[in-house]
Structures are given as C-alpha cells and as structure tokens.
Amino acid sequence: MASLGSNHSENGLVQSLDRALQLLLVFENQGPDLSLGQLSQALGLPKSTVHRLLTTLCARGFIEQVKSTGNYRLGLRIHGLGARTVVARTLTSEAEPFLRSLLDQHGETVSISVLDGNETVIVDKMESNLAMRVTSQIGKRNPVHCSGSGKALLAFGDPETTERIISEITLTRYTPKTITCPRALREHLKEIRERGYAVDEEEIQEDQICISAPVWNHEGSVCAAITISGPAGRIRAKGVEHIAASTVDAARELSRRLGAPA
C-alpha cells in the first residue's frame, strides 16, 4: 500500500478521516487481528500516528484491542453498521411495490421509516404528484413522540426500549396538539396498540396528517413503519380510517415478505 505520510490531502479528501478509513480497510485483507507494528507497516505511517488513529477508533467502537495479545481487531460497531445497511436495503427493495400501491390508491406521499437512536429516519419515499402535498426527503429525521412513524415504532416496539426512549427524550411542543406529558404519551401509545396504527394529527406541523402502521421482521420485532402523509383537510375528506386500513394492510403484507411470523 502506498505511503499515507504526506501532510497534504489529495482530491479534496480529509487526511485524518482517509487515514482512519484506510486503517479499517487493512483488516479486510490482513485481519482478523493485527499488531500496531503490522498496521504501521501496512499504512506506511509512524506507529505514533497509527496509535492515535486506533485510540480514536477504539473510543467510538469501530476498533477494539484484544486484551490477551494487545493486538487490534474490528469492533462490534462495524458489524452493527453492516447489518443495518443490509436490513435497510432489503427493507426498501421489498417495500417499493407496497409504497407504489398506496400512492396509486390515495395519491398522497408515502414513506417508510426506521428507528435510529431516539429518532426515526426516512429510508425510502414516494411523493404525491398533487400541487398541494407533503414533501419528505430520504434521510430526514423526525421526533418519535409526535410523528406517526415514531409513535408506531414506540407503540409496537420492545417495551424496555420504548420506556428508555421516553425517559431520555425531550417532549418538545411543535404545535398546540403535540403531546408533551410522558404519562399522556404512554396512554396514547396504549391506544395506538389497540387501534393498530398511529396518527400524527397536526402534531408536528399544522394542516398536516400522517398515518403510520408498523412493519414486522422475521424475528417478530417491529423494524419499520409505513406512513401516508397529506394536507389535513384532504386526508380527513378521504377518511383517516379508510387510509389507515390500506396502510395497515400494506404493512402486514410487507411484514409477510420479510418473513414475519403469521
């Protein structure tokens, strides 16, 4: 491997980040565990520089040191990211026909979100062609306590995880309809479980309603939520329960495709 000892980055690369990534890639061909000297030789960098990189990567869980030998190996954080990437790609590819069907049925923006930390993140979406519509972006994050997707994932998710998240987050008020009391949120989540779907009824943004249903994976755990979003007046005119029924059906069929238990 060519030396990375130059103080100048090429092609606009951030040198320290590039070095850290190159260090991780060494394990792809020379792992599974390597000494400081082996890593230094592979990268063409001084041991002191490599040690600083390793210290940072260890602190973030991307590298871990083997106590018995002092060598280094890839950390579990790497595995977690890889597994999440595979799941997200499988989820979006399987979800596409269901999102398309919901868009065709109702003409409103459809998205699918997953829980990431204490927020939800949109991993795929199909936008309405109507002039007045709700727009969304892949990668957009939403608060869990007042978004349709967040409330669906909290309501049907692991109870311990849900309780931890509720205890950690700030229940920020976005509109007069936002739930800001933990006790009220817990009661609301109970209602969602009984109903089978969640509704963000102008809780993040006025004149916007989002209807979300949970998606289950092969382990029988909630892994995502499908959401239909639109202007409040139009959603009410079409019928919240009518749209919700379609969303629940789509989420149930997608769950089957993902191997969820019957």
Distance, CA of 176 to chain centre: 27
Q: Does the pLDDT of residue 121 top 90, yes or no?
A: yes
Q: Which helix (H) or strand (E) holds 47?
A: helix 47-59
Which of 87, 94, 145, 84 is CA-nearest to residue 120? Answer: 145
Q: CB within 8 A of 135, min separation 6: which ones?
A: 109, 127
Number of domains into which the chain is organized: 2
**Measured distance CA(96)–CA(177) in Å, rounded:** 32
Q: Residues 233, 115: one domain?
A: yes
Q: Residues 110, 195: one domain?
A: yes
End position of a domain, from candidates 51, 74, 97: 74
The percent helix, strand, coil of the chain (3-state, each to 5) is: 50, 20, 35
End position of a domain, from candidates 74, 93, 125: 74
Place of tokens 């979300």: 212
Whether the Cβ atoms of residue 249 and residue 215 lie closer than 8 Å to each other: no
Residue 1 domain-assigned? no
Q: Residues 119, 244: one domain?
A: yes
**Domain harbouring 141, CATH code:** 3.30.450.40
Q: Residues 115, 240: one domain?
A: yes
Residue 222 domain-assigned? yes
Q: Residues 133, 41: one domain?
A: no
Place of tokens 């019957």: 262
Please report the pLDDT score of residue 67 as a whole number.
86
Q: Residues 88, 170: one domain?
A: yes
The model's pLDDT over 198-239, given as tens digits with 9 standing for 90+, comes to 999 999 999 999 999 999 988 889 999 999 999 999 999 999
Residue 35 domain-assigned? yes
Q: DSSP letters along 118-156, please?
A: TEEEEEEEE---SSS-----TT-EEETTTSHHHHHHHHH
Q: Residues 106, 155: one domain?
A: yes
Which of 97, 85, 79, 81 is CA-nearest to residue 123? Answer: 85
End position of a domain, from candidates 74, 108, 141: 74
Q: Residues 119, 29: one domain?
A: no
Q: Does the pLDDT of residue 2 top 50, yes or no?
A: no
The model's pLDDT over 50-94, given as tens digits with 9 standing for 90+, comes to 999 999 999 988 999 988 899 999 887 886 676 566 566 578 888
Beta bridge partners of 216: 222
Residue 38 domain-assigned? yes
Q: Residues 22, 146: one domain?
A: no
Q: Residues 238, 111: one domain?
A: yes
Please report the pLDDT score of residue 219 as a whole number.
84
Residue 9 domain-assigned? no
The model's pLDDT over 126-156, given as tens digits with 9 standing for 90+, comes to 999 888 888 888 889 999 999 999 999 999 9
Residue 235 domain-assigned? yes
Residue 6 domain-assigned? no
Which of 157, 125, 134, 133 is CA-nearest to residue 144? Answer: 157
Containing domain of residue 59, as a range?
15-74
Residue 88 domain-assigned? yes
Q: Residues 218, 237: one domain?
A: yes
Q: Residues 62, 97: one domain?
A: no
Distance, CA of 232 to chain centre: 26
**Domain harbouring 32, CATH code:** 1.10.10.10
What does the mean pLDDT of the chain come to?
A: 90
